[in-house]
Amino acid sequence: MQTPDAAHPSAELLTTLNRLTQDPNNCVYIISGRDQVFLENMIGAACPLVGLSAEHGTFFKSPQKDAHWEDMSKEMDLSW
């Protein structure tokens, strides 16, 4: 796609993610290069039981109710 900001999850994808989370044996996460705001607005609002990982794993949000974004960069070894 020429304009990455124009890429949004389809209604079919959101329905599928919600169906997957209805099975208690599943734990569903989206890992993306997008930022927290995009993931929260485009996926988190429509799929509250999906865990989110933004900016290629730098930020993480579990699917629990009232979960907050965690900054994982503090735990990364970037010395290389």
Instruction: Establish if 56 belongs to a structural domain.
Output: yes
- Of the candidates 70, 67, 60, 11, the one whose C-alpha atom is nearest the C-alpha of residue 39 is 60
Instruction: Establish if 19 belongs to a structural domain.
Output: no
Domain count, the chain: 1
Q: Which domain covers residue 35, as residue numbers? A: 29-65
Instruction: Establish if 17 belongs to a structural domain.
Output: no
Looking at residue 73, its pLDDT comes to: 85
Instruction: Establish if 57 belongs to a structural domain.
Output: yes
**pLDDT by position in tens, the chain (length 80):** 577 778 899 999 999 999 999 999 999 999 999 999 999 999 999 999 999 999 999 999 999 888 999 999 887 776 77
Looking at residue 75, its pLDDT comes to: 77
Looking at residue 63, its pLDDT comes to: 92
Instruction: Establish if 33 belongs to a structural domain.
Output: yes
Instruction: Establish if 52 belongs to a structural domain.
Output: yes
